[in-house]
Amino acid sequence: NAGVTQTPKFQVLKTGQSMTLQCAQDMNHNSMYWYRQDPGMGLRLIYYSASEGTTDKGEVPNGYNVSRLNKREFSLRLESAAPSQTSVYFCASSEELASDTQYFGPGTRLTVL
Amino acid sequence: GQQLNQSPQSMFIQEGEDVSMNCTSSSIFNTWLWYKQDPGEGPVLLIALYKAGELTSNGRLTAQFGITRKDSFLNISASIPSDVGIYFCAGTLTGNQFYFGTGTSLTVIP
């Protein structure tokens, strides 16, 4: 059981480039989440997917898009990266949306120059 | 967005000492959670609290749901080197979205 996996672990982009962060979970969870973590800010929710086929905005969705490809996979896309998107990105999953136990992946450290 | 303030921001303690940290919110929550994050890893859930006044333990960790529903507290007794990490609180009112605190960085000196 790998839990929640994320790729890549590290990425450096130039301003304006695009990229997709991948996330997969093998726990048969219905709900998945994308967070960003910035120094002194804690974790902030970008988007979430309550179940396969649905996605909703979180606290800081601007500049991002998501796709719930199937029950296992939830990707985050930056269409035109900006320096303000330099952050550590975490994917998480839970059995249901209201479930308190969210399982987090190891994170992707993104730098936008 | 919702603001959760954690204090202290960082702590440096001797092995064997007890640790206390707290988290305050600008609005009420129905659920409080405490997570620990090791360097280079994602957060891991330590304790969940569901009722005002609730006191819950997990080994050497004890957390409390404040009676105002706007705060929560985490205590670690007899700290050991593997307690090192960043501790986050998180809270929710509806369950749809959890808001995370700014974190308390704990360093344990052997």
For residue B5, the distance in angstroms to the closest alpha carbon of chain A comes to: 10
DSSP string over B8-47:
-SEEEEETT--EEEEEEESS--SEEEEEEE-TTS--EEEE
Query: Which has the closest alpha carbon to A77: A91, A87, A63, A88?
Result: A63
For residue A79, the distance in angstroms to the closest alpha carbon of chain B comes to: 24
Q: What is the pLDDT along chain A (113 residues), one digit of tens a residue?
A: 679 999 999 999 999 999 999 999 999 999 999 999 998 778 999 999 999 999 999 999 999 999 998 999 999 999 999 999 999 999 999 998 877 788 999 999 999 99
DSSP SS3 for A49: strand
Residue A88 in contact with partner chain B when CB distance is under 8 A:
no
For residue A18, the distance in angstroms to the closest alpha carbon of chain B comes to: 24
**Arithmetic mean of pLDDT, B55-65:** 97
Residue B29 CA to residue A101 CA, distance in Å, equals: 16
**Arithmetic mean of pLDDT, B55-73:** 96
B86 backbone dihedrals φ, ψ, rounded to 5°:
-110, 130
Residue B16 CA to residue B77 CA, distance in Å, equals: 8
Residue B31 in contact with partner chain A when CB distance is under 8 A:
yes
Residue A26 CA to residue A3 CA, distance in Å, equals: 6
Residues on chain A touching B102 (C-beta within 8 angstroms): 40-42
Q: What pLDDT shows up at residue A108?
A: 96
- Higher per-residue pLDDT: B94 or B89: B89
What is the token pair recorded at A29? 């969870």
